[in-house]
Structure 1
């Protein structure tokens, strides 16, 4: 039974079926959408006898990777927090941060959220959305450069919709951010851990600003410019 299930999930088109079925679990709880896809990805990983390279984890973390991840995370932070997100907020309103607002000034909540973020957002989302969904779609579409770009676009739309709980601006911003980091993956197909670090560092800065209640300062500065 386990072998048959693995063989079915191992089919090239299975990634599309998983992406279509996963949102149905949103009627139960939005988190189930993520954990269903992640569960399938780990079943495939286990069935392949933990062939991590299949999901883009073919390189270990090196000093070079650490430096690149820090620089790219800071670049993305500047692009989104200082330019894109404040402009989007002028048109689409504020992000719905009700799910994490309780960490403001709450050190225990801040530490807990940081741990959860690194495990489930930085590693979990990159493993699922880039390592499984995007890589699987790219290979299904022919594994060409155009296929990878199309897979990046499709995965980013999916990623953006999955963040709709943050409001329309959350979905749009997540789509644009996902597309940016997906383009990085197209150039580093065998180094998913680079994206994990970028994602973790980027979110760590954002969460820290929320904890310090300083996340609104950049928006106010941009509004003054306009």
Structure 2
């Protein structure tokens, strides 16, 4: 049974079916679609004897990767801060009420940091770029154009999957995901670069929420454009 399933999942077109099932499951709860997709990724990794290069993790962690991820994360924080400021000015604030339990609670903050690094930074990059984007690009021929189209499709999908954050959140996350898709397009064997940037960026915002400073920082970014 598992051999037949692995054979099916090895077919280029199988990624379309996996994405379709994930979307249908997400109509009930986005976590259902996410964990279904992540389960598929882990099953494939298991059958391939944990060869992570299949998903774009083909380089070891180096000091250069860490340094690069830190400075890109900082630049990304400020650029997206300004973009979000514009979006929230016209479309309303992002709905981050699901993270209110973090405010002033160090235990919840620490737990969420662990969850974020495992399931958001590592899990989402592995699923959306290492699997969805890479396999979809291969399905379309594997050319640079195919990688570009695949990146746009997955960025839109990833943005829509964050519908609970409201329209400004969807648009902002889609724009951010386009940047991550471009990074993977340029670094197809170094998915860990994306993982570190994702994790560092989210860590900054989780820390601001814990300190109850997120709205003030968001207001500061908005004030840079609309004084």
- On the 8 A contact 1:148/1:186 being kept in 2, the answer is yes
Aligned to 1:33: 33
Secondary structure of the corresponding residue to residue 50 of structure 2: coil
Q: Distance in 1 between matches of 2:28 and 2:155?
A: 23
Q: How does 1:132-151 map to 2 (within 5 A)?
A: 132-151=131-150
| Cα separation, 1, equivalents of 2:197 and 2:224 | 30
CA deviations over 1:143-183 (Å, ceiling 9, x no partner): 11111110110000110011111111111111111110110
Q: Does 2:161 match 1:156? A: no
From the superposition, tell whether residues 144 and 211 of structure 1 become closer, same or farther in structure 2 (CA, over 3 Å). Answer: same
Kindly provide the CA deviation profile for residues 55-87 of structure 1, in whole angstroms up to 9, marking residues without a partner as x. Answer: 000011100000000011111111001x10010
Distance 2:225 2:182 in 1: 30
Tell me, in whole angstroms, the C-alpha distance in 1 between the residues paired with 2:26 and 2:77.
29
Q: Structure 1 residue 218: deviation in Å?
A: 3.0
Q: Taking structure 2 as the reference length, what is the TM-score of the superposition?
A: 0.96
Give the secondary-structure state (helix, strand or coil) at the position aligned to 1:194. Answer: helix
Is the CA contact (8 Å cut-off) linking 2:23 and 2:33 kept in structure 1?
yes
Q: RMSD of the alignment, in Å?
A: 1.1
TM-score, with normalisation over the residues of structure 1?
0.96
Give the secondary-structure state (helix, strand or coil) at the position aligned to 2:96.
coil
Distance 1:87 1:15, change over 3 A: same
8 Å contact from structure 2 (residues 26, 34) kept in 1 = no
State how 1:1-226 maps to structure 2 within 5 Å.
1-81=1-81, 83-221=82-220, 222-223=222-223, 225-226=225-226
Question: Which sections of structure 1, spanning at least 5 residues, go unmatched?
Answer: none
Please list every run of at least 4 consecutive aligned residues from structure 1 whose deviation after the TM superposition is greater than 6 angstroms: none
Measure how far apart 1:223 and its partner are: 3.6
Equivalent residues of 2:102, 2:108 under 8 A apart: yes
* Aligned-partner SS, 1:167: helix
Give the gaps of 5 or more residues in structure 2. Answer: none
In structure 2, C-alpha distance between the alignment counterparts of 1:191 and 1:157, rounded to whole Å: 22
Indicate conservation of the 8 Å contact 2:86/2:225, yes or no. no
| C-alpha contact (below 8 Å) 1:86/1:218 kept by paired residues | no
1:201, distance to aligned residue in structure 2 (A): 0.2
Query: Are the equivalent residues in 1 in contact too, given 2:104–2:211 (CA < 8 A)?
Result: yes
Q: 1:3 to 1:224 in 2, by over 3 A?
A: closer
